[in-house]
Amino acid sequence: MRRIGLLAVFTLACGAPSEPHWAVADGFLRDPDGRAAILRGMNVANSHKRKPYFGHHQAEDFRRIREVLGMNSVRLLTEWAAIEPEKGVYDDAYLDELAKRVAWAQEAGLLVIVDMHQDLYGEGFGGNGAPRWACDERYYQAFVPREPWFLGAADPNLLECVERFYTSEELKAHFTEAWTRVATRLRGFTGVLGFDVLNEPLWGKRSLFDFENVHLVPLYEQVVTAVRKVEPSWIAFLEPGVNVNLGSGTEITTFPVDNVAYAPHSYDAKAEAGEPFDPARRENVFLHVENLAREARALDAALWIGEYGAASPAEPTWVDYIDAEYDAAGKVAASTMFWVYELLDEPTDNPVVIQVLTRPYPERVAGDPVSYAWDETTSTFTLVYKPRRSIKAPTEIVVPEKNFPSGYHVECGGCLFEKGPDRLRLLTPPPGEPAMVSIRP
């Protein structure tokens, strides 16, 4: 993959001057000012997986994500089956509803990453993603569901459909066209940052190496190329094979497109199998996320953890689980997206979830983030970064009032700063290389 520097933020591929836009450079998403952006957001929503493909969520839900939790982004789920319910027939009314939700998010001040979701290949297997017409009915009839549900991904009938998808130019063309329809409908929304081409890709009957490099990466190139003919500025959020989510490594060696965020998920395997999270496994979470960061660097991509969380907030160690994921991401300065919004509003205004998810984070960094951390015991937030003095825009840290109800003090070695509502702006960087700023009561 070609490495792009900060000048790419201000230059089109052809070399002509352009308005500043988002890009990936030197390991981070960069905003139009060249600042590293940390995305902290929410998956919206589980209800998007099945007919009628949208739940009860309205504009106020997106405002809540921004104003109550202080998050800055959403991963908005869409479905191939919803876009193309019948072969060659596209549902413009569905795309209008999708656009309505993008508008709600944009009005709330949230960035949007559109995710083409799938679980268990598609609707024919009781999952979501591919429309029923995208495989032979006999495989659906022979499928035997398992518990937990995700074990169904090993069923030979499902694997046959996955294999047929990747080896069928016709099916891949339909999938690519579905993405093109999404891009065409959402073209012009400034709040759309990019697109997650395929959720948790299954590898069918191939070995993992053959799947990722022979089938998955070429599919990514095909879809990204088509989408960028419509919206050339969209960032591509590209996932490895689903196995990486639980701790193994990717076999992807390179991405053939630029402006990529590496988009794995981070889950504890035992917790996802239904066991309560064991706090003794906190170190395993850290090791997994550190490996994801190494893979992102090797792929010359930003690291964006598209899902973390899940399990039930009723579990006695759920808070420990979410803390471990957040702390591990902070150690490598990664972006994260919590799974899933329904855990916040079922029951309504779940106070445990709100408390755990509301915490400080660096939203924009005028330089290269090294790490960020939140110490709940002392209510201290720390950001370590390497300043780039050529960037004139301030470093901005989200400081929720819930975390500092009586106000806060800033320690930054004499740097200039200003406090705003739920936000700290560093007007000059702290001294030192790397620089450090601490916020405490």
Give tens-digit pLDDT for 142-185: 999 999 899 999 999 999 999 999 999 999 999 999 999 999 99
Q: Which domains does the chain have, with CATH numbers?
A: 24-358 (3.20.20.80), 362-441 (2.60.40.1180)
Q: How confident is the model at residue 6 (pLDDT cuts 50, 70, 90)?
A: very low
Place of tokens 């694997």: 159
Q: Residue 346: its pLDDT value, please?
A: 64
Q: Is the pLDDT of residue 17 over 90?
A: no
Q: How confident is the model at residue 210 (pLDDT cuts 50, 70, 90)?
A: confident
Task: Kindly state the percentage of the chain with pLDDT values over 90.
Answer: 87
Q: Nearest-CA neighbor of 356 among 311, 388, 295?
A: 311
Average pLDDT of the segment spanning 345-354: 77
Which residues, 6 or more positions from 365, have their beta carbon under 8 angstroms from its beta carbon? Answer: 28, 35, 36, 37, 38, 383, 385, 395
Run of H or E including 335 = strand 335-339
Q: Residue 9: its pLDDT value, please?
A: 39
Q: Is the pLDDT of residue 37 over 60?
A: yes
Q: Residue 362: its pLDDT value, please?
A: 98
Each residue's pLDDT tens digit, 237-271: 999 999 998 788 999 999 999 999 999 999 998 88
Phi, psi at 388, each rounded to 5°: -120, 105
Hey, CA dihedral for 385, 386, 389, 392, is it positive or negative? Answer: negative
Q: Residue 350: its pLDDT value, please?
A: 83
Each residue's pLDDT tens digit, 401-441: 999 999 999 999 999 999 999 999 999 999 999 999 999 99
Contact between 6 and 218 under an 8 Å Cβ cutoff? The reply is no
